[in-house]
Structure 1
C-alpha cells in the first residue's frame, strides 16, 4: 500500500508540473527516459518526417 501511495504522490507532482508547462514537462520526461534507455542500446534509429518533431538524441555514453 505504501508503494502505491508513493507512486500516486509522484504522479500527482508530475501532473501538476504538466498542467503548468505541458511542453517543458513532455520534453523533460522524454529526455529522462532516453537517458535511462540509450546507454543500454548500441544502435539508434530515428525516423524524421520533414525534419521536424525529433528532439536531439544525446550521447549518454559521453557522461561515463
Structure 2
C-alpha cells in the first residue's frame, strides 16, 4: 500500500510541477508571447497526451475484459 501511495504522489507531483516549470521558463517579453510555443512545452504536452491515451486504453481493456 505504501508503494502505491508513493507512486501516486510522485506522478501527481510531476503532473503539477512539470508544466509550471516549463511555462515559467518561457519568459515574459511581448515578442515572445506572439511567437511559437517552446519545444519543451510541446514535448511535455505530447507526452502527457500519449500517457493519457495509454491509461484510458488500459482501463478500457481492464473493465471490458
TM-score between the two structures when normalised by the length of structure 2: 0.33
Greater helix fraction, Structure 1 or Structure 2: 2
TM-score between the two structures when normalised by the length of structure 1: 0.33
Q: Which has the higher contact order (CA 8 A, sep 6+)?
A: 2
